[in-house]
Structure formats: C-alpha cells, structure tokens
C-alpha cells in the first residue's frame, strides 16, 4: 500500500478538489460537520474534517495559519 498525504488523496485533481479544501468550503458555506460525504475511517474523511476544522486548509492555500491570541 502506498502512503499518500490527505492533500494528495484526490488523484488527478487540484488542491481545491481535495477533501481538505472541500471540508473548508463546506464550513465557509454554512454546512454542518456532519455533512462530510466520506466514509468513517477513510483518509478522505480525515482530510475533510481537518479542512472543516481549519487544521490544514490554510497550508494548501499557502495562506497564514491563524495563531491563538
């Protein structure tokens, strides 16, 4: 089995197609965390939830990661 990052889990896609960015977009568009379309335990679900929780989405965009006050 090949180890790939969550960001690379969308074969042939772009960063904006990745589960991480999909999760971020879902949050920004007012969808609930439970709207994740990926199955429990999948790499894609983990990436989607990280994007939703804004853990890795900024890294994909190259933007700043917010720092706690």
pLDDT of residue 28: 92
pTM confidence score: 0.61
User: DSSP class of residue 65?
Assistant: P
Mean of all residue pLDDT scores within the chain? 76
Among 7-11, 39-43, 57-61, which is the least confidently predicted range? 7-11
Query: Distance (Å, rounded) from C-alpha 52 to C-alpha 19?
Result: 9
pLDDT tens readout for residues 15-41: 678 999 999 999 999 999 999 999 999
pLDDT(56) > 60: no
Is the four-CA dihedral 19, 25, 27, 32 of positive or negative sign?
negative
């Amino acid at each position: 089995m090949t180890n790939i990052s969550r960001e690379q889990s969308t074969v042939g896609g772009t960063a904006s197609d990745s589960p991480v960015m999909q999760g971020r977009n879902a949050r920004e568009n007012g969808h609930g965390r439970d709207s994740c379309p990926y199955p429990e335990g999948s790499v894609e679900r983990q990436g989607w939830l990280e994007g939703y929780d804004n853990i890795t989405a900024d890294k994909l965009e190259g933007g700043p990661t917010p720092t706690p006050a």
